[in-house]
Amino acid sequence: MSTMERLSTSVEHKKIAVRESAEWFAGISRHGIVAAERAAKGPRARATARSTMSQMAGSILIGLGVSLFVHSQLGVPAYDVMLTALRDRFDITLGQASWLFTGALFLVATVLGRRPRFSGLVYLLANGAAVDIWMPLIRDPEALGVQMLFVVLGTVSIAAGVALVIHAGLTGGAIELLSKAAEDRGVDQFKARRAIELWIVLAGVILGGDLGIATAVFVLTMSPILKAGQQALADHQAGRSARLAA
């Protein structure tokens, strides 16, 4: 391959990376954003202990964030609209609803030829457990200002948690697997992911999930907050590498 051809290939790869990164920010749920980030950057190998710790810490923060949204009584994040609907219909906890619904998505992905990774199952279990642990520890606020503060803190907590999960480089969530299964069948992975996310939210609304103004706040603010968290983790990693090199 000539120098010119190599340069052209490099430029094309950069264009694809930019396009995929832009598509990542179109995610409307935490699972969809994780899937889009992995599609844009690909899987990353990390030390098992550090990855597991990062994933567990991320799950704890996500559980805290979701609990804050629920107690705000102003709506929940996009993915959790469906989970609150299942919680109310089956009289189960929100964590159990997460296990039930996401487990069903994993089963569909398996039937379509995309089996979940062990880390994906651990992520599912940890998320549900974290939500159920945090829920009874937080009380419903009465003042609207405090309710809005819960939404802001919940968004920041979930964004920080998702950043840690992405940083771990382990999870293979249900939406990621389903979008890859669609791609195996000739469907664009980005379009499939968006369709899956929108279907989940719409089905949750139809079933009576907790849709509210906080849901819109989450969708509109999650990506820029997450980007800041990602940058902070990247800076930390770069600084750590520089210290080790020195």
Residues 109, 115: contact at Cβ < 8 Å? Answer: yes
pTM of the predicted model, to two decimals? 0.80
CA distances to 27, 41, 86, 159, 244 from 166, rounded to whole Å, are 14, 10, 27, 10, 23
Asked if residue 38 has pLDDT above 70, the reply is no
Domains of the chain by residue range: 49-241
pLDDT tens-digit readout, 152-173: 999 999 988 888 887 777 666 8
Nearest-CA neighbor of 219 among 25, 14, 9? 25
Per-residue 3-state assignment (H helix, E strand, C coil) for the chain: CCHHHHHHHHHHHHHHHHHHHHHHCCCCCHHHHHHHHHHHHCCCCCCHHHHHHHHHHHHHHHHHHHHHHHHHCCCCCHHHHHHHHHHHHHCCCHHHHHHHHHHHHHHHHHHCCCCCCHHHHHHHHHHHHHHHHHHHHCCCCCCHHHHHHHHHHHHHHHHHHHHHHHHHCCCCCHHHHHHHHHHHCCCCHHHHHHHHHHHHHHHHHHCCCCCCHHHHHHHHHHHHHHHHHHHHHHHHHHHHHHHHHC
CA distances to 11, 25, 149, 226 from 190, rounded to whole Å, are 21, 11, 33, 19
- The two three-digit tokens of residue 88, written as one number: 């109310």
Asked if residue 7 has pLDDT above 50, the reply is no
- The two three-digit tokens of residue 2, written as one number: 């000539």
- Confidence class of residue 230 from pLDDT cuts 50, 70 and 90? low
Distance CA 63, CA 123 (A): 11
pLDDT tens-digit readout, 49-102: 778 888 889 999 999 999 999 999 999 999 999 999 999 999 999 999 999 999
pLDDT tens-digit readout, 174-229: 888 898 899 999 998 888 888 998 999 999 999 999 999 999 999 888 877 777 76
